[in-house]
Amino acid sequence: MPSTPHPIAATTLPLAEWYRGAARDLPWRRREFHDEYAAWGTLVSEFMLQQTPVNRVIPHLEAWLARWPTPRALAAASPADVVHQWANLGYPRRALWLHRAAIEITDRHDGVVPRDVDALLKLSGIGDYTARAVAVFAYGDRHPVVDTNTRRVLARAVLGQAQPGSPSRRDLDLMDAMLPVDDADAAVFNAAAMELGATVCIARAPRCEACPLIETCAWVAAGRPDTGDTRRRQAAFEGSDRQARGAVLRLLRDAAPRAVLLETVLPEWPDPLQRDRAIDSLIADGLAEADGEMLSLPR
């Protein structure tokens, strides 16, 4: 008669087995991807995946890496080319951060993406998630990797709550306590938790009937209570400054490499003050550049 399964094994083993059979075939999970681009490929993919869904990232990722296959190659590019190549991925400041990170990697790390989490955290645009994702998925080290999917899986399977609370260090601590001891097993556990949250334990209508953790899930055991959505509603996009910024930047991308006359930038925009505010903020962010009466992508 075997003893009661270790609480970690109770989730680790079914999750790992499920992942072997259910993991999507994504570019950054292929052997050739790592052979060709090493940790740089993982880093670029993680930048693009920050708040942009997987399916929208894939074509952009391949085009980006084909053009700039190393940190040194990207570091030598102009900001204008970088912002233009980023296209409509959204949150264009990420493009500048990635460019800056490439320069930092070239200057401070001899063109090699660092392996150390603290070194990764010092790079532009890299926070808790991305630093650990690179260390784990590119280098195979043992760290907790916690994204929005993992936080939801932990909230339900472990804490018995329908939705995660606001992000905090506790997420990392909890995931750290659950990680298998072995490096490779820990990496699979990290990836599997994210995959489960992305494909089964999804935000709106979780597919519990397909979940490998249904036997031990605290939320299911509690009768799937609606514990209330603690997240904050995002402000409306229509009529927002973000929409104005996006419209200006799209115009600059379409005109590139040429500059445009300031007077010709969204002359019909409903709120001229908002348009001017958008232009100023883009310049402040380094996403646009003014030269006299002309506006363009940053040189």
Query: Residues interacting with DNA, by CB under 7 A?
Result: 26, 28-29, 45-46, 49-54, 56, 88-93, 97, 124-131, 133, 147-149, 152, 166, 168, 191, 194-195, 197-198, 202-205, 229, 231-237, 240-243, 245-247, 249-250, 281
46 catalytic? Reply is yes
CA distances from 157 to 11, 164, 167, 256 (A): 9, 11, 17, 49
Strands across the sheet containing 260-261 = 260-261, 294-296, 289-291
Given 17, 32, 36, 46, the catalytic residue:
46
> Is 4 or 237 the residue whose CB approaches DNA more closely?
237
The tokens of 157 are what?
């399977």
Q: How do strand 289-291 and strand 294-296 relate by DSSP bridges?
A: antiparallel
> Is 25 or 110 the residue whose CB approaches DNA more closely?
25
Q: How far is the CB of 241 from DNA (least distance, A)?
A: 4
Tell me, what amino acid is at 172? L
> Is 110 or 204 the residue whose CB approaches DNA more closely?
204
> Is 4 or 166 the residue whose CB approaches DNA more closely?
166
Please name the helix (run of DSSP H) or strand (run of DSSP E) that holds residue 289, with its range, or none. strand 289-291
> Checking phi first, is residue 224 left (phi over 0); if not, alpha (psi -120 to 50) or beta?
left
Instruction: Judge contact between 260 and 295, C-beta under 8 A.
Output: yes
Q: How far is the CB of 293 from DNA (least distance, A)?
A: 23
Q: How far is the CB of 7 from DNA (least distance, A)?
A: 24
The dihedral through the CA atoms of 187, 188, 193, 198 has a sign that is positive
Tell me which DSSP letter residue 261 carries. Answer: E
Q: How far is the CB of 148 from DNA (least distance, A)?
A: 4
Tell me the catalytic residues. 46
